[in-house]
Structure 1
Amino acid sequence: MTSIESITLEAADPAAAQQFYTAAFGLGSQVRLRASEAPTTGFRGFTLSLTVAQPADVNALVGAALDAGATAVKPVSKSFWGYGGVVRAPDGALWKIATSAKKDSGPATGKIDQFVLLLGVEDMVASKQFYVGRGLTVGKSFGRKYVEFAVPSSPVKLALYGRRALAKDAGVAPDGTGSHRLAIGGGTGEFTDPDGFAWEPAPASASVA
């Protein structure tokens, strides 16, 4: 396993979810969809992050998401780290759109610089060791708080965050039960990590379906 080729979000209505992601973010090959009625409540233990160049792009993407049916979870605002906000897609997934820039350098372009999957973990040391054992190389590490893996060629980046800290960052309560409603496409086989996140072989041609 060297990269994430795509993620699969499970939704009660995949067709409606596809329409949302096409309208809101223009995501194609990185995101797939499939039907699921698996019980899930509260925080699903992960967030999806879109990093952009400037505040204007944050506003444009958040606005498009809200217009397409998302709900605001954490209103767009400035912070010590930059500018961003969090929305919940109609399928229930949490999306953070952010930039490290605090001022615009031009009009919004709609360009997404980085797509990151952040997994909320209970034991950072155990989860970090698990993924290193699977062939990933640590790019950044901040003790037991945050780990980012170096996968420069991957369409989707992977990072680990303490579950409670990730929920706080997203603006939601950390409690949740049931299915993650997420499958990660990459590597050569099926396995499940220490926090119950399922991995499966990436499809030959990843696309929204």
Structure 2
Amino acid sequence: MTSFESVTLEVAALAAAHRFYTAFGLGDQIRLRASETPTAGFRGFALALTVSGPATVDGFIGAALDAGATPLKAAAKSFWGYGGVVQAPDGTILKVATSARKDTGPATREIDDLVLLLGATDVAATKRFYLDHGLTVAKSFGRKYVEFAAVESCPVKLALYGHRALAKDLGIPADGTGSHRVVLGSAAGPFTDPDGFAWELPAPVLTP
């Protein structure tokens, strides 16, 4: 089975990004590397953190804002639970949410799930593409959402979400140009998916 093994964010200021993601709590889960490739608007993806309760959501959102993030959607109750969205200084969008509407314990710094959401123009077609490349589906909700099977060695899950639906959920315009500024790692790489997301052979972690 082909598996998703790593996610690398391409950032303009490597040392600053390292400090931000360490303060936010993702220093060990994602990789960073320097890049000046042009990008504007919605980059077509987001990192989604699922946590235990509203207080933990507030803790992560607060840590992001303290570290220089920009608020996109204030943390609030919704039909699905409670959550908020921020944009990291490097431009990456981070969603933190919980299905719980009330806290059942104190706030923690624990992440239950970390998912890389890729915005797909055609979820069904991109799903077939990844199946042809050896990934296995864990969850699928028609043409709306697909989550692929995770492996223990990778702390990040991979999922597909409709491009415009993802942008709407994040509270931003769907238009964007240039580089996605994210690279996915797999022993099956290199290849590029239908929406231009690049896969490559996993590389060693780079830190400032």
**Runs of 5+ unmatched residues, structure 1:** none
- What secondary structure does 1:164 align onto? helix
CA distance in structure 1 between the aligned counterparts of 2:115 and 2:207, rounded to whole angstroms: 17
Aligned equivalent of 1:187:
187
Aligned equivalent of 1:174:
174
Aligned equivalent of 1:82:
81
Indicate if the aligned counterparts of 1:2 and 1:151 stay in contact, CA closer than 8 A. Answer: no
Residue by residue, what CA displacement relative to the aligned partner does 1:57-89 show, whole Å, maximum 9, x if unpaired? 100000000000001001100011111000000
Aligned equivalent of 1:103:
102
CA distance in structure 2 between the aligned counterparts of 1:124 and 1:21, rounded to whole angstroms: 29
Indicate if the aligned counterparts of 2:33 and 2:206 stay in contact, CA closer than 8 A. Answer: no
How much has 1:106 moved relative to structure 2?
A: 1.1
- What secondary structure does 1:116 align onto? strand
Aligned equivalent of 1:163:
163
Query: How is 1:28-67 mapped onto 2 (pairs within 5 angstroms)?
Result: 28-67=27-66
Normalised by the length of structure 2, the TM-score is 0.95
Residue identity opposite 1:197 in structure 2? F
Q: Does 1:141 align with 2:125?
A: no
CA distance in structure 2 between the aligned counterparts of 1:155 and 1:130, rounded to whole angstroms: 23
Give the superposed CA RMSD.
Answer: 1.4
Indicate if the aligned counterparts of 1:141 and 1:147 stay in contact, CA closer than 8 A. Answer: yes
Aligned equivalent of 1:24:
24
CA distance in structure 1 between the aligned counterparts of 2:180 and 2:202, rounded to whole angstroms: 18
How much has 1:32 moved relative to structure 2?
A: 1.2
Residue by residue, what CA displacement relative to the aligned partner does 1:123-167 show, whole Å, maximum 9, x if unpaired? 112100011111111121111111111225232101101100000
How much has 1:3 moved relative to structure 2?
A: 2.8
Residue by residue, what CA displacement relative to the aligned partner does 1:6-31 show, whole Å, maximum 9, x if unpaired? 21111110110000000112x23321
Indicate if the aligned counterparts of 1:130 and 1:193 stay in contact, CA closer than 8 A. Answer: yes
Indicate if the aligned counterparts of 2:18 and 2:207 stay in contact, CA closer than 8 A. Answer: yes
Runs of 4+ in 1 over 3 A off after TM superposition: 205-209
Aligned equivalent of 1:119:
118
Indicate if the aligned counterparts of 1:28 and 1:208 stay in contact, CA closer than 8 A. Answer: no
Indicate if the aligned counterparts of 2:4 and 2:151 stay in contact, CA closer than 8 A. Answer: no
How much has 1:2 moved relative to structure 2?
A: 3.2
CA distance in structure 1 between the aligned counterparts of 2:60 and 2:11, rounded to whole angstroms: 21
Identity rate, percent: 65
Q: Which has the higher mean CA deviation after the structures are superposed, 2-11 or 88-97?
A: 2-11
Residue identity opposite 2:48 in structure 1? S
**Runs of 5+ unmatched residues, structure 2:** none
Aligned equivalent of 2:14:
14
CA distance in structure 2 between the aligned counterparts of 1:79 and 1:207, rounded to whole angstroms: 38
CA distance in structure 2 between the aligned counterparts of 1:3 and 1:101, rounded to whole angstroms: 30
- What secondary structure does 2:62 align onto? helix
Residue identity opposite 1:83 in structure 2? Y
Residue identity opposite 2:42 in structure 1? F
Residue identity opposite 1:53 in structure 2? S
Normalised by the length of structure 1, the TM-score is 0.94
